[in-house]
Amino acid sequence: MTTIPAASTASVPTPARRDFLPFAPPLIGEEEIAEVVDTLRSSWITTGPKTKRFEQEFAAYIGATGALALNSCTAGLHTALVTLGIGPGAEVITTPTTFAASVNVIEHVGARPVLVDVEPDTLNIDAALVAAAITPRTRAILPVHYAGHPADLDRIGELAAAHRLAVIEDAAHAVAAKHRGRLIGAGDNPVAFSFYATKNLTTAEGGMLTGDAAFLDRARIVSLHGMSRDAWKRYDKGGSWFYEIVVPGFKYNMTDIQAALGLWQLRKLAGFQERRRAVVRMYDAAFAPEDALELPARRPEVEHAWHLYVLRLVPGVLRIDRDGFVEELRQRNIGTSVHFIPIHLHPYYRDKYRYQPDSFPVANSNYQRMLSLPLSAGLSDADARDVIEAVLDVVRRHRR
């Protein structure tokens, strides 16, 4: 795509919006604040009874056998790999269109991440390419539910069953997403969620791991130093000081302060999701007629979580590239982001595995033309209209 530099600040009209609209601010209410204060006044501020309640309520919401609260989705993915015994000599198939954490954890356990390209519409891992990448060393498939749109779990599940592979889902974007009517995380395989500040449900930092009961029993030990019992029970009435280290585990536990936020965020999640969908409908209606913009894909068998609203610029229609578009929106006080710089473009992975930009052409070409618009439960109709006005104004001013 032929490009020209972004327009100078002087060429941009005075923004209609006076204050800057952040890309994805959290929505924290008085209930969360009161719950955190209650925690601070209690005997438990680290992992304790509120963390346990949050695990139980989250599992009930998802329809999962159980849940393990952790300090991040990254911790969940790492814990899952270790718990399943995946390590040196193993291969794990995953996607280049994800945040680095999804792939870093594979490196951490000494396994080899095997990247395959993504689908042109959903930008999820391409199951047909997964099939071609399976070798005798493959131990797991790690799909990422990009932007909140579930990956092709039917085909991935078939491949995993046929080759006796684990499926570890990265559901950092997929709280409240459904695949064929069932919430992501309701199955027996490991699924890791993120509650980072920008997510649909936040605990500031934090995550959750779901899976079958036997897996979670082992994962709970791995996630807390490899201790043979929950740390907080040692200090509870009737608890014993005695414990044993049965594996060299990690310090990945969630605190009750975080869980206090999560308890109320979970109760509000249905309302949060409805608000996100309302903003998405406004965006769709405004941008669908515009030939310079490609809207996010959605397939009929899934319910999108709408963690992200990712626009893609149609090649050849505009005189500016994605970076210029982002800068134009910034000058109009609209915050954006880009999800993601593909894994194979980062120096560590590029150099170690000798990747070229076109090693994964679908991921690379879409990266060059994508941007994520503001989307959160706290976005008002007026905010959404400001985003729409700014996007369409940039398109009008820079059409070829």
8-state DSSP, 280: H
Q: How far, in Å, CA of 65 to CA of 68, rounded?
A: 11
Enumerate residues 6+ apart whose C-beta is below 8 A from 351.
none
Residue type, 161: A
Which residue(s) pair with 320 in the sheet? 4
**Catalytic site includes residue 199:** yes
- Smallest Cα–Cα separation from 200: which of 132, 271, 298? 271
Instruction: Choose the catalytic residue: 50, 199, 251, 268.
Output: 199
Q: Give me the DSSP letters along 188-243.
A: SS-EEEE--TTSSS--SS-EEEEE-HHHHHHHHHHHBTTBSS-HHHHTSTT--S--
Q: How far, in Å, CA of 94 to CA of 113, rounded?
A: 7
Judge whether 117 and 362 are in contact, CB under 8 Å: yes
Name the maximum alpha-carbon separation found in the chain: 74
Q: Which residues are catalytic?
A: 199
